[in-house]
Each structure stands twice: as structure tokens, then as C-alpha cells.
Homo-oligomer: A and B are copies of this chain.
């Protein structure tokens, strides 16, 4: 990474002005806790997420391990001038940063990547000297917000494609080098592979892809045609032959030429992989292509769809295929099973809701004797008043084994599932739900200590482990919460003790 633009100065100016203020006020080494959470699920307009898939943690930990205030960084800061021309950062503060180095002093508890997570429940909790946790804010938010946004979108696309599979290939329209985080997050969200060569290698999954229109155009320009282009491709990739059939005319030219080449391949002892459709009425063309492939004895070749796909279009394509396939003697379920969805721009930009509004809020500051003092931000809107203090997050499973609520509790509070449990609405006082004694089949603490005073505890399970966590969590998530459109609202609640603390703090501030 570039030390200056992707290192520790990949941050907002005001984190450093605040850190300098804490230094001046003698508060910089005071311990503090900050929580990362998001307040609402992505809302794409016509459809909304009922859950998110967390991602970005391991890249964040890697970044934290390498991000340092070295001489170059300190020189950059020393040169920054305010609007009035004076130096913003003084030498003694910069010397302290230089000595500090980086994020060695942080303890971080977090929900591992790939897990289902919900609005208003902490996903990461940083505890460290105040100035250090403050400086971490921007990069933590940047890493977790975008990766979680894209893993969530990918998970929805993959759910919509169920039966078939999904490949991510959005790099060309991805947001700069953010495209790498998009690839990784898409794989966590359930995409089987990606076109991105470098990032696929970095996470240990083979990249994939075939050819574009340009290859066919080149052969045509020099006096050949689509058939010559397909033959040339099959010659080079006899065991990996997937042909894009819409450069001229899908049903009149592309499909007949592809079938000709597939037959030649088979005569030479090779089986083709499939065809790709990139324009037109994808559902109709998939049915017609399947009909032609079946007729020629290629019942198992894949049909790859691409062009502006997202979860809703994939869902619609599947519906249309179910209606239209029987008219052409094609088995709809079998066709859906051979579909591969190439998803690009709309996945890597989370089109419809292009940012996750995750925030990182001070929840507690150590008092003079080291005890935690809860911190609060009062707001005009009750939903935006924070849940104060050091806490834990519990996931409760019901007697069917489904997750039924995420419960925020005080850090030192014990939950007893053998007794009836009263769960409080996080912002509306008096709204409660009582779980009967014995109604909870399992209780799980979601936050795992991943950094202990800077020492990394989380094993680098990588994308593979994260994918397994997603699959396991989705199996235990109510299908209503997984709906693509108008999903059922999952409960995130407070214990009585936390709810009481919040109310007493709010009352205190308003006095």
C-alpha cells in the first residue's frame, strides 16, 4: 500500500485535531470505549435488507498492523496549515504520535466476518487510550461500512439466484481500488468466484472469466467471423470453453456457431463449459438457448447471464423462466440449475443504497479510578440516542433453533434463560417482549476478542471461514427476515438493566 494515502493518514483531519486536543488536555491516555454499529439496513428503494453480513474485519486488522506514524507521516502533518496559515499540529504532539507508532495499544472485540448482523447491535467495540481509539475511527468505518454493505448485497443476490450460482465481475465499474474490497466482500457474501485476478489470488480462490465482444469483433474486422473466433477460442481452451454468443445475433448467429464449435470439441474428446448471454431479454434467450443446446445434446452446459443484474432482476428472470420454459419443452428447474449469474456494477456499488451508515460512538470513558463512566449523545430523534456504557451482545435462539433476538446487556450482567426474560425496545420506553422460561434453546455471545492490547487473537480464517459462517447463520435466520422485499423486522432489544441505565442517563442530561 502507499504509505501516505493508504497508511495511517488514510483518515479524517479532525481525528488528529481531536487527538491533539486530548493530548493538550491530558486526556489522551484516558481509556475509552467506542462502539461500531449501523442504525438501519440498506434500503434499495423497491426492496430492503432484513439483515446484513459483516465483512472487512481481517483487512482492517491487517491495515492496523501495518499503519504507522513514521517520519514521513509526521512530516506530512507538520506541513498542514490552517485557513489562517498557522501550523495545525505542534511538534510535541507529533513527537508523541511518532513514539506511539500505531495501534499497538488497542483491544478490539468484534463479530467475525460472514456473520448475520443487525441494526443497532454493536459489531465492533474498541477499547484503548482515548487518542488512539479516536484516530482509528475513520479507517475502521471505511473498512467495515463498505465491506459489510457489499457482502450484504452479495448475500441477497446469491439468495435470489438460489439453484444457480453467482460470479462477481464488477471491477471495471467498481469504485477505484475499493473494487478489491468489493471482490472480497462478494465472495464472503456467497459469490462462487470473481473475475478480479489479483484479489482472487489474495483470498485463495481461482479467478474466472472467458472472453468479451472485442475478441469476436477483432476476428470480424480482419475478415473472419464469429465462427472463426469461437473456433480459435475452443482451440486454446478446449476444456474451458465458454462462448459469448450475442456479438451479432444471439439466436441466429451466436447459438448456431457455438453449437457447431461444441460439436467439434466433443468429436475431439472435450466437453464445452457453456455459453454467455449479455444483452436482450435474458430469460427468454436463456430458454431458447437451452432448447437449442438440449436439442444438440448439450444438456449440461452452463448458461451464464450478465448485463445489469441484481437480486430483483435475477428473481424476475427466474420467474419468467418458470412461466416460459414449458412452452419450449424446457424443464424450468433444470434450466435454473444450470444458470450462472455474472453480477457487476449493481453488486460492487450496492446500487440503490450505496453506503452503509455505520457509526463509531463513544460509549464509555474511564473515570479517575479507572471505572467506566457511560457516555451518551442526546438527540432530537429517540432512535438516535445511543445505548450507553460497556456492553455485551447476546444472540438468543428459539426452540426451533432460529435466532429470535439480539440482546444488548451490560458487560457484567448475567442472562438466565431458565427464567422468563424481559426484552426492552431500544428506543421506545415501555415496549417490552417477554420470552418464557425455557423458550431459549441457545445463547451465544457475538463479540469475540480479536485484538488484546494490540495482540492479534483471531486466527486468520479468511474468506473461506467467513463463507461458512454466513451459510450457517442464514440457516438459523427466519425466512421472513431473509425476504428480498419488505422483510420481517428482526428484534434487537435491551435487557432491563441496560434499559434502566439508558433512561436514568437521559433523565440526568435533560435535568
Contact = CB atoms under 8 A, between A and B. Distances in A.
A240 B86 contact: yes
A231 to B, nearest CB: 10
A273 interface: yes
A217 B218 CA distance: 63
A40 interface: no
Contacts of A174: 142, 146, 175, 178, 355
B6 A177 contact: yes
Contact of A138 (B172, B178, B180, B364): B172
Given A4-B202, A180-B5, A279 B379 contact: yes
Given A180-B6, A350-B354, A354-B349, A280 B380 contact: yes
Interface in A1-38: 1-2, 4-7, 9-18, 20-22, 24-25, 27, 30, 32, 34
A107 interface: no
Contacts of A175: 146, 174-176, 178, 181-182, 349
A323 interface: no
B248 A509 contact: yes
A221 B375 contact: yes
A295 to B, nearest CB: 24
Interface stretch (A190-198, A429-437, A444-452): A190-198
Contacts of A247: 377-378
Interface residues of A, number: 119
A94 interface: no
Given A13-B208, A176-B178, A354-B354, A4 B138 contact: no
B377 A357 contact: no
Contacts of A202: 4-5
A64 to B, nearest CB: 15
Contacts of A200: 13
Interface stretch (A75-83, A400-408, A454-462, A466-474): A75-83
Contacts of A9: 197-198, 201
Q: Report how many copies the assembly holds.
A: 2
Nearest to A25: B232
A322 interface: no
Given A171-B12, A198-B10, A239 B378 contact: no
Contacts of A197: 9-13, 16, 76-77, 80
A349 B240 CA distance: 37
Contacts of A134: 214
A340 to B, nearest CB: 11
A367 B17 contact: no
Interface centre among A5, A32, A169 (most CB of B within 10 A): A5
A233 B21 contact: yes
Contacts of A122: none
A81 B193 CA distance: 12
A141 interface: yes
Interface of A: 1-2, 4-7, 9-18, 20-22, 24-25, 27, 30, 32, 34, 76-77, 79-84, 86, 88, 130, 134, 137-138, 141-143, 145-147, 169, 171-182, 195-202, 206-215, 217-218, 220-222, 232-233, 235-237, 239-240, 247-249, 273, 279-280, 345-346, 348-351, 354-358, 361-362, 364-365, 367, 373-380, 509
Given A11-B196, A12-B196, 10 more contacts: A12-B171, A17-B210, A25-B232, A27-B222, A81-B206, A142-B171, A174-B178, A175-B349, A214-B361, A354-B354
11 contacts: A17-B209, A21-B211, A27-B222, A76-B201, A145-B172, A147-B176, A174-B175, A175-B176, A175-B181, A218-B365, A345-B355
> 5 shortest A-B CB distances, which residue pairs?
A178-B178, A14-B209, A175-B178, A13-B209, A9-B198
